[in-house]
Each structure stands twice: as C-alpha cells, then as structure tokens.
C-alpha cells in the first residue's frame, strides 16, 4: 500500500523585507545577501500572525477536499510555540471545526519536527489504512536586529494531509537518521530570539548530510543518478546549495544538470520567504513540484535537518496527475501581493513581536479577506478570527 502526501497547503504573511534594502541599512554589500546567503526577500510576521494562525491558514487552503470522517490524527510541529502546556493544534482544530474524536498534539525537535510528524503520520496510516493524518509545520524565525542571522529570518507554514493512495508523493520505505546532542542553535525559555553558533551550525548541517545521504544510498542500493531531484532543509538557500554540491560530486553531466536545475527550482520559494524552520524542507518540495516539470514515478530525495541536532534522509516518488492537486497560481499571487516594508517599519514590527502579550488586548488585521489572524488575547487566552 502506498502512503504519502495527498495535499499540501502553504501560507506566508503579507509583508516582506527586500534583501537589498536590508543590506544597505546594515552597511553590507547586497551581493553578500543575494549571492553569499542566497536570499532575495524575507517574510515578516506582524503581531497578528503567529504559529497557530499561519498553521490554520495553510490548512484552510485544502480543507474543503478532506474527508473528515477519515481524519484520525492532527500533529502540529513548531519551535515558535505559544504555550508551554497546551498544544497549538487544539486552536487549529477549533478554528477549522475538525472532529472532536481525533488524536492531536504538538511536537518539537527544531526544524526536524515536521519530518518527525510525517513519519509518525505514515506509521499511523500504516496501522489504520483507511484513516488519514494532518500534519502542520509553522514558525517565525527570529535572530535579532543587525545580527549575522538576521538575513536568514522568515515566517510561514506548510500543512499536509498524509493518507493511503496519495495524490502527490508516495513515500518509499526506509530512511537513515543521525542524532547528536550539540549546541549549534537553540532557544532557551527566557529568550524570544535564537542563540546560534552560525558557522558551526553550517558545518554540522553538512556533516549530518554526509552521515545520512551516502548510508541511505548504500542501504537502498541506489545511485545519485536515480534521483530526479533532492530537496533540502533550507535555512537559507546557500546552505542547501552546499549540501547539493556534495551530492553531485563526481556525477555524470546529465545527473549534475538535472539535480542542479531542480535544486534551483526547489529553492525558489525559500529565496522569497526565508527560513520557516519546521516547514522549510516541505516548502522546498512544494517549490520544486509547482515550478518544475517532474514526471510520474520521478524519485525525490528529502534531507531534513533540525539543530540540536537530528537529521534524516528519505525518499518518495511523484504520483501521476500530481499537478492537479497543486495551487501554483494561488501561491504566486500570495508572494506577489505582499507589502514591501521599509527597514524601519520591519524593525518596529520585529521589536513589537518580541514582547509578551498583555492579559487583555485586541488586534485588527490588514490581511486579505478570508485570512485567519491573531485577534488578541482575553484573560491570557489567544483569540483567532477570520478576516
Ligand atoms: P556571516 O558570518 O555574516 O556570513 O553569517 P559569512 O561571512 O559566513 O558569509 C556568508 C557567505 O557570503 C560566504 O559564502 C561568503 O563568502 C559570502 P560561503 O563561504 O558560505 O560560500 N559573501 C559574499 N558573496 C558574494 N558577494 C559578497 C560576499 N560577502 C560574503 N560581497 C550565517 C552567515 C549563515 C552563519 C548567519 O547568517 C547565521 O548564523 N544564520 C543562522 C544560522 C543558520 O541558518 N545555520 C544554518 C545551519 S543550522 C540549520 O539549518 C537549523 C536551523 O534552521 C534551525 C532549526 O533547526 O530549527 C537554523
């Protein structure tokens, strides 16, 4: 029985900062950001978008096509949690009127958490063949104003439906994992921004890629040329490009060209949005599917990395007719119609986003009609509304 991705919803907030504007404001050569880091824009979440509202928006995109009778599991992956106890998924469940009988919880291991959710969901469907699982990854990446990490921020969410006989990607059996307790990136409870050892994190990412990619090929008896494309966790696109260069080392011209072209297509959304932590790998997959030209049966590799650190490599095959399940025009419009912030405006929004919400507060949203947003807090209970 094939199990895999049957729906993918994507959301990113309606504001961005242009990398040339940011470079000028920080007295940096714009090419450092555009080429050295590989980013064009970064999404900015104002106070009306948090992990929950973005997760609701990504899921709402495909909800009308879900058979709710079959839905048995909802997992929310985030490192931008809004509560130390209660799962973000319960807010999603209420907003979207999902059935009360589903099992639901939140899960964490930095950017790896959506892959953890995917594997749990796959096992769930394997054990309950006629049931489906919904998994959401949603985050706001915050490093701080004028820090080295600032250019690698972003905000957004991906939501996926996992079921048997999937319409988009059928996951293949097998995976290779690697974990170590290291301090490359983390966010202690008393800090609103991440602590990061940037150059060390870059080296560990590549070490973990080497520890999972070649062993995966050996275990599955595959060649690099067996892949139509490989998608990477993209904290910034140059990071994935460094892993891509390792993958294509010593390959024939045709393989190098195919994997390189498809890498650029997989990085297209990330260049516009930035790091969305848990969902970044899956935004790369969506970007390749919506901007590329894959054929039924093409194999895609998935490299998932979460700081701390945990990595996994696995694969899936594109399903015939997958194009009909995608919404490239909607996503192109969402990215195109965003508001370009001046750096001063972005700094104000960023600083406001670090403050804890008071017990009672009300927000209005400037998002498009139909968008879910954080409308404030009442007695420390977050309120979500639809515009
Ligand atoms: P930095 O120190 O400002 O940058 O920080 P740099 O000096 O290393 O330069 C970056 C690149 O720009 C270099 O290229 C330069 O040569 C180039 P590279 O050597 O890497 O190929 N450059 C130029 N290129 C063209 N024209 C120029 C120019 N000047 C320089 N004029 C750093 C960069 C990524 C370290 C920083 O932004 C950072 O700390 N970011 C956050 C950490 C991060 O994203 N780490 C990635 C791996 S960890 C991960 O993926 C997990 C994560 O997503 C969290 C999670 O799991 O939850 C982060």
pLDDT along the chain (387 residues), means of 10: 97 98 98 98 98 98 98 98 97 98 98 98 96 98 97 98 98 98 96 96 98 98 98 98 98 98 98 98 98 98 98 98 98 98 98 96 95 98 97
Alpha-carbon distance values, 73 to 56, 102, 173, 218 (Å): 15, 5, 21, 33
Secondary structure letter of residue 345 according to DSSP: H
Catalytic residue among 61, 106, 109, 111: 111
Q: Closest ligand 1 atom to the C-alpha of 185?
A: 54
The pLDDT assigned to 191 comes to 95
Query: Angle of helix 237-248 relative to helix 198-220, nearest 10 degrees?
Result: 40
The pLDDT assigned to 182 comes to 97
The pLDDT assigned to 353 comes to 95
Cβ–ligand 1 contact at 318 (below 6 Å): no
The pLDDT assigned to 127 comes to 97
Contact of 67 with 31, CB cutoff 8 Å? no
Cβ–ligand 1 contact at 144 (below 6 Å): no
User: How far, in Å, CA of 15 to CA of 17, rounded?
Assistant: 7
User: How far, in Å, CA of 117 to CA of 203, rounded?
Assistant: 26
Joined tokens for residue 28:
């940096």
Cβ–ligand 1 contact at 185 (below 6 Å): yes
User: How far does the centroid of ligand 1 lie from the alpha carbon of residue 240, in Å?
Assistant: 11
- Comparing CA positions, the residue from 217, 301, 222, 220 lying closest to residue 259 is 301
The pLDDT assigned to 238 comes to 98
Contact of 146 with 26, CB cutoff 8 Å? yes
Joined tokens for residue 21:
């504007």
The pLDDT assigned to 212 comes to 98
Atom 20 (ligand 1) nearest CA: 36
Task: Specify which residues 101 forms β-bridges with.
Answer: none
User: How far, in Å, CA of 326 to CA of 348, rounded?
Assistant: 35
């Amino acid at each position: 029985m094939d199990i895999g991705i049957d729906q993918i919803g994507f959301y990113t907030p309606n504001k961005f900062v242009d990398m040339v504007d940011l470079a000028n404001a920080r007295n940096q050569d714009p090419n450092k950001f555009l080429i050295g880091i590989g980013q064009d824009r970064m999404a900015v979440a104002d106070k009306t978008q948090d992990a929950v509202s973005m997760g609701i928006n990504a899921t709402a995109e495909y909800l009308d096509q879900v058979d709710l009778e079959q839905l048995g599991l909802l997992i929310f992956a985030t490192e931008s949690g809004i509560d130390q106890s209660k799962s973000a998924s319960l807010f999603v469940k209420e907003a979207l009127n999902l059935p009360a009988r589903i099992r639901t919880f939140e899960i964490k291991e930095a950017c790896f958490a959506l892959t953890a959710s995917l594997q749990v969901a796959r096992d769930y469907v394997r054990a309950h063949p006629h049931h489906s699982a919904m998994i959401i990854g949603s985050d706001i990446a915050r490093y701080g104003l004028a820090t080295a990490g600032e250019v690698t921020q972003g905000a957004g969410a991906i939501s996926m439906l996992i079921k048997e006989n999937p319409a988009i990607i059928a996951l293949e059996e097998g995976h290779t994992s690697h974990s170590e307790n290291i301090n490359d990136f983390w966010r202690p409870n008393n800090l609103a921004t991440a602590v990061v050892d940037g150059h060390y994190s870059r080296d560990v990412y590549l070490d973990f890629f080497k520890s999972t990619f070649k062993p995966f090929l050996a275990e599955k008896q595959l060649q690099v040329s067996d892949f139509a494309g490989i998608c990477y966790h993209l904290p910034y696109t140059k990071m994935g490009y460094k892993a891509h260069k390792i993958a294509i080392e010593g390959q024939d011209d045709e393989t190098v060209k195919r994997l390189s072209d498809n890498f650029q297509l997989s990085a297209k959304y990330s260049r516009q949005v930035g790091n969305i932590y848990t969902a970044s790998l899956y935004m790369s997959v969506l970007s390749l599917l919506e901007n590329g030209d894959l054929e039924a049966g093409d194999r895609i590799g998935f490299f998932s990395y979460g700081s701390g650190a945990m990595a996994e490599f696995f694969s899936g095959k594109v399903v015939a007719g997958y194009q009909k399940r995608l919404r490239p025009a909607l996503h192109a419009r969402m990215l195109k119609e965003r508001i370009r912030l001046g750096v001063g405006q972005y700094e104000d929004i960023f600083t406001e986003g670090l403050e804890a919400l008071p017990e009672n507060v009300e927000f209005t949203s400037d998002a498009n009609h139909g968008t879910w947003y954080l409308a404030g807090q009442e007695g420390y209970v977050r309120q979500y509304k639809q515009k």
